[in-house]
Amino acid sequence: MGKLKAIKVVTPRIVQSGERGRGWLWLVFLAVLAAWTWQVFEFGRQHGGIDRVRLTESDGHLRDRITELEQERDLLREQAAQFERSGQIDRAAVVDVQGEVKSLQDERAALKREVAFLKSLVSGGGKLALDDFRLTEVEDDTYRFEVTLSKKTEDDATVEGQVVLRVRGVQGDVERTLDMQSVTDGRRSNIGIRFKNFQKLRTDIIVPEGFRPIAVEVTVEPEGKTFKPFEQIYDWKVTDT
């Protein structure tokens, strides 16, 4: 018999339908993922450009607004400076007016004293007269009293005697009149007088604590019978100089 030839049997591979389906699914997933990634990229690129445009526009608006605010600030500063200059001018004008008023008041007071003196000359009452009364503050609670005593006759007779001061005022709710020793700290009780034409009388008055002066009473007491004694009352008015 002849030799039998061996036959190679090839078993066909069985491909399951589930494995083939999963392969297609992976391909579809990758394609979708790629498309989605591309869309996200494009969306980000496009909107990023839009945001940059918006940011640029917003930045421009902000810069314009800052410029407007700076211009308003400069305008307000200029107006404030104008108001300040106007206020300084107004204050200077007020000071000038106050100075003029003070000058007119001083001039009026001087004229009143001169008129009073002229009236005393015309009347010739008592032949002695007080004039040019002044009361100035020299330090706290200390005031300088000044007045001129003159003769209204043309004779050469010498006037001698004394002048006594008293200060009338209120202490608490009680009216009081202090004698000259009380308001000169006991240093003097009168002012001696001796003159032919006139004499300037001067003394310092010390106001006690709690005492509010109202008036100064001046009593002229000449010696002899030629000139008559008299009294003059001045309101307590302190002058600046």
151 shares a domain with 70: no
**Residue 113 pLDDT > 70, yes or no?**
no
Last residue of a domain, one of 63, 91, 123: 123
The per-residue pLDDT for 21 is 57
| pLDDT at site 120 | 52
Phi, psi (deg, nearest 5) at residue 198: -160, 165
Residue 138 lies in a domain: yes
Of 123, 158, 190, the last residue of a domain is 123
Structural domains counted in the chain: 2
Same domain, 147 and 180: yes
Together in a domain, 203 and 103:
no
Task: Inform me whether the pLDDT recorded for 124 exceeds 50.
Answer: no
- My answer on whether 144 and 209 are in the same domain is yes
Residue 153 falls within a domain, yes or no? yes
pLDDT band at 84 (very low <50, low <70, confident <90, very high): confident
**185 lies in which domain range?**
127-235
CATH of the domain at 135: 2.60.40.10
- The predicted model gives 193-218 an average pLDDT of 94
- Does one domain contain both 166 and 85? no
* DSSP codes, the chain: -PPPPP-PPPPPPPPPHHHHHHHHHHHHHHHHHHHHHHHHHHHHHHHHHHHHHHHHHHHHHHHHHHHHHHHHHHHHHHHHHHHHHHHHHHHHHHHHHHHHHHHHHHHHHHHHHHHHHHHHHHH-TTSEEEEEEEEEEEETTEEEEEEEEEE-S-S-PPEEEEEEEEEEEEETTEEEEE-HHHHTTTS-S-EEEEESSEEEEEEEEEPPTTEEEEEEEEEEEESSSSS--EEEEEE---B--
